[in-house]
Structure 1
Amino acid sequence: MSTEIQRDIQAIVSIDAIPHIMQILASSLQLRFICVARVTEQAWTMCAVLDKADFGLMPGDHLEIDTTFCRTVRASKKEIVINHASADKEYRDNPIPIMYGFESYFSYPIFDANGEFFGTLCGLDPEPRELRNAKVHGQISAFAKLISNQILLSDHIEQTHAQLDDAKKMTRLQEQYIAILGHDIRTPLSSIQIGINFLDDVIKDSEIASTIQVPVFKAVSRMKNSVQRMTRLIEDAMDFTHSRVGKGLPVELAISHDLSKQLHYTIEELATANPQATINIHIDIAYGLVCDEKRICQLLSNLLKNALVHGDQTQPIYVKVITNNTEFLLSVTNSGTAISDESKTRLFQPFWRKEESDKKEGLGLGLFIASEIASAHEGAITVSSDSKNTEFTFTFPLSQPLSNVCKNVSY
């Protein structure tokens, strides 16, 4: 049996409705044999069968194509229906009913996903049956069309699975490439950073500084900013590939003694880079918090950058970080245009940006990485947005009440 025929049989076997269709036809038409066959110019192959007449045919079995009426159906694309073969002027001398011992018979064409002839839906019985009427024709033709539609659907599903597999393989390859590229770029970038640090130290020398012209100061400053931005982009790309290729974003959980100070440093760094912005801060964190300090600061940085880029820069941004006995809460609130419900569903997808946005900062990974950090802490980020404010809120449950943790921590 060819691979193509095996695939066609499997396509029919995979259609859950076919056994029910055959059972309905057998019961309503009082036929003891119903089948679906794959019919080519050379061969007739059983795909599915309901056999109460004990013909002994099973899926995969073949009949000589010349010993069936299905070859005629294939050529004409029209059904053949017989009520009483031995009494029918057209068929009483035909050897096929005599060979298989049937009196009543039907064969309706079935078509594949491309609209080409696939095979037939057949039924027969050793006794005469009234099959040539509009009601029976409507029933059988409807089921034949249903099977054709199911073949079309199965073919589309198969193609979609194949395309999805290809897309997954390509995506994984791209992610691995990004990881390798990010790793390899770090080495030359570190060399550039060392060179810039050397120039910066030279410029700071009071004796040399007086001989250096202003454009040199500006050039070194721009180089420092460029290297810092490249470093952030590489770190985002590496975090992305760690999350997708590995098993989530890696975190190092430990008892934090310095998170409040580190969060203040993070905010000050962004405030310095965005002097036009007003950032109001409220941080009240109890000691003994178990988290990854670096990742929490990274999450805050990403949320705050998002507010600085997309919020109304004439209005203040509010940063609140607090803990209670069982939960950590960090929120960033800004004014500006409300986020649509459709955009909310995609905010945390990697590389996603609003199409109408003209602000193309970064790779579009900031919110995705923030959400991965939240998940790594067994928490979540939620967003609420209306015409007045947009607020991103990160919460995660504390591993145990802070009051218990603090009892076990020495300062």
Structure 2
Amino acid sequence: MGFSAVARVTTEKWVACATHDQINFGLVPGGELVLETTICNEIREHQNAVVIDHVAESEKFAHHHTPLMYGFQSYISVPITLKSGEFFGTLCAIDPSPHKVDTPQTIGMFTMFADLIAFHLDALDQVNKSEKRLQEELVIAQLREQFIAILGHDLRNPLNAISNSSQLLARLDQEERVQRLVDVIKNSSFRMNGLIENMLDFASGRLGGGITITRTPDEDLEKVLTQVIEEMKVVYPNRAIKTTFNFDYPVNADGKRVAQLLSNLLGNALSYSANGSVVEISAGSNEAEFNLCVANSGKQIPDATIERLFQPFSRGEVEPNKQGLGLGLYIASEIANAHGGTLNVSSNSEKTCFTLSIPTER
């Protein structure tokens, strides 16, 4: 046979995967034929071999459009069926001269080669799937190791503070020192609670397909945000927080999640700004969207750090006594995404601002 090919045949295309051309048919690997002009398209439908010794003497194919178009007299094509039962394509051959191909030996040989091709394609598919699974497992293993290492370090600090403070409380009577230790316990407990919430949300987001939200029409976000700010003032009693609220339109959102987002952003702002500085919070809504901005003075965040700031376990340049799992901004970003919104950051030498924007209605 002067021309043979392994063809990928779908409902839309006929594409040559491999060819052997001794008659200058002109088709190379990657080349295409119009699907409807091929007998392979008919084989895709009935999935039976088609064998023709001499087109001119065949009652069925003497006037068939395919041999008339491509000028062949002998033809053989057998389906290539994958292990899953999916039809892949055909192993086919043509020649402008008649040949005796309708024999058990020839058909058996083509069928055997079609089975070998299918076996090879299945093997390649299994290798690709195995490599993909391996890569996924490597990523999970790296995340697990990183998670456990940071978790062990960061939870140990507040736990030690609580343990030491409680032991000292048992020995002391001085009211001022007792109050100082109570503040340590309170702050450490607050940090641990935040770490645990972030851990649970991270696990839920990675294993459950994303953070879930429950929207409430006309959520009273001003009340929600005010409550978070008041709680943070208890933890940071000596810090100044300036608020500007302007809600002109109801917001369809998950108030608890927005509160969690603000808690993460505000905690970062208070932690990474100087004691005497003011953290500014502005929030408002209009007919199109709800916006929340948390701004603080402090060091400018480098561009390289900003690029990975919303990735899990990314903490930028960690300073002493400012440890964290590096999940807060990641989870805040996931909360924004769950609302169909965005969380962006801008930073310069004077101010760093995190801005949440979500549609008012969705």
TM-score range, shorter chain: 0.5 to 0.7
**1:358 counterpart = 2:319:** yes
Q: Do the aligned partners of 2:289 and 2:357 also contact (CA within 8 Å) in 1?
A: yes
Give the whole-Å Cα distance in 2 for the aligned partners of 1:276 and 1:211: 25
- Shift in alpha-carbon separation, 1:169–1:226, aligned structure 2, 3 A: closer
Q: Is 1:250 aligned with 2:212?
A: yes
Would you say the 8 A contact 2:289–2:359 is kept in 1?
A: yes
After TM superposition, the score normalised by the length of structure 2 is 0.55
Q: Among residues 330, 337, 347, which one is paired with 2:309 in the alignment? A: 347
Structure 1 residue 251, shift from structure 2 partner: 2.6
The answer to whether the 8 A contact 1:330-1:394 is kept is: yes
Match of 1:406 in 2: none
The answer to whether residue 161 in structure 2 is matched with residue 164 in structure 1 is: no
One-letter code aligned to 1:373: I
In structure 1, runs of 5+ residues without a counterpart are: 1-12, 31-47, 63-152, 197-202, 204-209, 401-411
8 Å Cα contact 2:249/2:287 also seen in 1: no
Decide whether aligned partners of structure 1 residues 29 and 300 sit closer, same or farther in structure 2, where only a CA change above 3 A counts. closer
Aligned to 1:375: 337
Letter matched to residue 195 of structure 2 = L
222, 227, 231: which one pairs with 1:260? 222
Classify 1:267/1:25 alpha carbon distance in 2 versus 1 (closer, same or farther; 3 Å). farther
CA distance in 2 between partners of 1:321 and 1:314 (Å): 23
**Which SS does the other structure have where 2:19 is aligned?**
helix
Q: Helix, strand or coil for the counterpart of 2:252?
A: strand
1:319 is aligned with what amino acid? I
Identify the residue that residue 58 of structure 1 maps to in structure 2: 110
The alpha-carbon distance between structure 1 residues 246 and 324, as it changes in their structure 2 partners (threshold 3 A), is same
Q: Taking structure 1 as reference, are residues 267 and 29 closer, same or farther at Cα in structure 2, changes over 3 Å only?
A: closer
Q: Which amino acid aligns with 2:132?
A: H
Q: Distance in 2 between matches of 1:219 and 1:338?
A: 33
Deviations 1:46-95 (A, max 9, x none): xx977557665337549xxxxxxxxxxxxxxxxxxxxxxxxxxxxxxxxx
Distance in 2, matches of 1:169 and 1:353, equals 19
> What residue is the counterpart of 1:292 in the other structure?
254
Superposition deviation, residue 157 in structure 1: 5.1
Q: Which amino acid aligns with 2:287?
A: N
1:324 and 2:295 are equivalent in the alignment: no
Q: Structure 2: state its 5+ residue gaps.
A: 1-7, 9-14, 28-89, 96-100, 115-123
Aligned residue pair count: 262
SS in 2 for 1:289: coil
Is the 2:245–2:283 contact (alpha carbons within 8 Å) kept by the matching residues of 1?
Answer: yes
Tell me the CA shift for residue 311 of structure 1: 4.5
Structure 1: how far apart are the matches of 2:218 and 2:323? Answer: 31
Identity of aligned residues (%): 35
Q: What is the letter of the counterpart of residue 137 of structure 2?
A: D
Query: What's 2:244 paired with?
Result: 282
CA spacing shift, 1:60–1:398, aligned 2, 3 Å: same
**Alignment CA distance shift 1:155-1:388 (3 Å):** farther
**Aligned pair in 2 of structure 1 residues 326, 364: CA closer, same or farther (>3 Å)?**
same
1:96-128 superposed Cα distances (whole Å, 9 cap, x missing partner): xxxxxxxxxxxxxxxxxxxxxxxxxxxxxxxxx
1:230 counterpart = 2:196? no
1:11-410 matches, cutoff 5 A: 19=16, 22-23=19-20, 27=24, 51-52=93-94, 57-58=109-110, 60-61=112-113, 160-167=131-138, 215-256=177-218, 258-274=220-236, 277-286=239-248, 288-311=250-273, 315-354=277-316, 356-358=317-319, 360-399=322-361
- One-letter amino acid matched to 1:166: E
CA displacement at 1:394 relative to structure 2: 0.8
Structure-1 separation of matches of 2:132 and 2:352: 39
Residues 144-184 of structure 1 deviation map (CA, whole Å, 9 limit, x = unaligned): xxxxxxxxx99985663131243477689x69x99xx9xxx
C-alpha separation in 2, matches of 1:260 and 1:280? 14
Query: Following TM superposition, by how much is the alpha carbon of 1:233 offset from its aligned partner in structure 2, in angstroms?
Result: 1.2
Q: 1:213 to 1:282 in 2, by over 3 A?
A: closer
Which protein shows a greater Rg? 1
Q: CA deviation at 1:213?
A: 5.8
For residue 31 of structure 2, what is the aligned residue in structure 1? none
Aligned to 2:117: none
Question: TM-score scaled by structure 1?
Answer: 0.49
